[in-house]
Structure 1
Amino acid sequence: MTLLKSEIDLLRSVPIFAGIEPARLKLIAFTSDSIAYRAGQVICRQGQPGDAAYVLVDGEADVSVATEAGDYLVATLRSGDVVGEISILCDTPRTATVTARTSLTALRVRKESFLQLLKQFPEIAAEVMRGLAERLTHTNEELVRARNLAASRGGEA
């Protein structure tokens, strides 16, 4: 099997690319790099410039945010999840550190290519927005839990 064919098959297995025709998958394969990470290896670090988005193809990664009390785990990513898009879309530094929990394979899509994909493929843009909305909902739930916990501890003093 050729490298390009295997990358296209890899893309087809990722939910955000599943409905895209093979000719377009070939274009995506040309504009992305398949990268393997070992467990514990940092994929992107909070505060650094965002130069690419990553689509997890296989494996898991932890998303953590540095706080005064130490690193706080905010999410675990799995196959099909996209990460790094916030810094690209908002042109801001990375908002979290992403570390491979297991060995994993990810597609690294450079900033310009990622933005072009969103323009050319509305179905990918819709999936990315859906993922962002789910993460926002999860974050809001975490904030409510933290606020309730803080309020209950304050009431005990």
Structure 2
Amino acid sequence: MLLKDEVEMLRRVPLFAKIAPAKLKLLAFASERLTCREGQNLFRQGDAGDAAYVVLSGTADVLVDSGESEIKVAEVEQNSIVGEIAILCDVSRTATVRATTRLEVLKISKDSFLDLMNDFPDMAVEIMRVLADRLNHTTMELSLARSREHAPAS
């Protein structure tokens, strides 16, 4: 894929929509393109958070280990971003992301991601919105999963 195609794909990600094309070109150039096969983990819960990933194509499940099982808390698809929580909070990965189809991603290093946020404060506000929405969704999914685990068997 050409650099201009990667820039175009980055522009489709709501988080990057308002960023100047020249800056996106630098971001795409500094990023690494990776492919995962179906069933392969992009990263695992507990791994070091060294990068964020933009999904160029494919889908993946976001799974949280509850101690007894893995709970699917979300699904990611084209034009979404994953892995940014570990960068922003400087913590290990909070979930496992496993490809459910062939998955192509652009790996954005922690430094590149933080530089972009520094240069574009609007992006930081948008990230807060995305994270708040995700937190709300994940909390609901975990609550549902826990209530199913503790429900009496019929």
Fold shared, TM-score > 0.5 on shorter chain: yes
| Cα distance, 1:150 vs structure 2 | 6.5
Within 2, Cα distance between the matches of 1:37 and 1:148?
Answer: 33
Tell me the CA shift for residue 122 of structure 1.
2.1
Work out whether 1:126 is the aligned partner of 2:106.
no
- For structure 2, the 5+ residue unaligned runs are none
The corresponding residue for 1:140 is 139
Once the two structures are overlaid, the 10-residue window that deviates more, 12-21 or 104-113, is 12-21
- Number of aligned positions between the proteins: 153
AA aligned opposite 1:131: V
**Alignment partner of 1:73 is 2:72:** yes
Q: State the match for 2:22 in structure 1.
A: 23
**Partner-residue secondary structure (3-state), 1:131:** helix
Q: Distance in 2 between matches of 1:45 and 1:110?
A: 17
> Using a 3 Å threshold, how does the CA distance of structure 1 residues 137 and 9 change in structure 2: closer, same or farther?
same
Per the alignment, in what secondary structure is the counterpart of residue 49 of structure 2?
coil
> What is the TM-score with the length of structure 2 in the denominator?
0.86
Task: Quote the Cα distance in structure 1 between the aligned partners of 2:145 and 2:6.
Answer: 42
Unaligned stretches of 5+ residues in structure 1? none
Q: Matched residues in 2 for 1:133 and 1:80: separation?
A: 18
Give the % identical residues.
50
Partner residue, 2:103: 104
Q: TM-score, normalised by structure 1?
A: 0.85
**Is the contact made by 2:52 and 2:113 (CA closer than 8 Å) also made in structure 1?**
yes
1:28-75 C-alpha deviation (Å, 9 max, x unpaired): 112212222221111011111111111112211101112222211111
The answer on 1:36 being equivalent to 2:22 is no
Q: CA contact under 8 A between 1:13 and 1:57: conserved in structure 2? A: no
Note closer, same or farther for the CA distance 1:140–1:71 as it changes in structure 2 (3 Å cut): closer
Note if contact 2:71-2:145 (Cα within 8 Å) is conserved in structure 1. no
Which is worse superposed, 111-120 or 5-14?
5-14
3-state SS, counterpart of residue 5 of structure 2? helix
| 2:83 is aligned with 1:84 | yes
Which residue identity lines up with residue 112 of structure 1 in the other structure? D
Q: Distance in 2 between matches of 1:70 and 1:86?
A: 22
* Alpha-carbon distance in 2 for matches of 1:93, 1:14: 24
C-alpha distance in structure 1 between counterparts of 2:58 and 2:123, whole Å:
21
C-alpha RMSD of matched pairs (Å): 2.1
Q: What whole-Å deviation, never above 9, does each CA across 1:87-124 have from its counterpart, x for those lacking one?
A: 11111111111011111221111111111111112232
Which deviates further from its counterpart, 91-100 or 13-22? 13-22
Of residues 30-39 and 86-95 in structure 1, the stretch that sits farther from structure 2 once superposed is 30-39
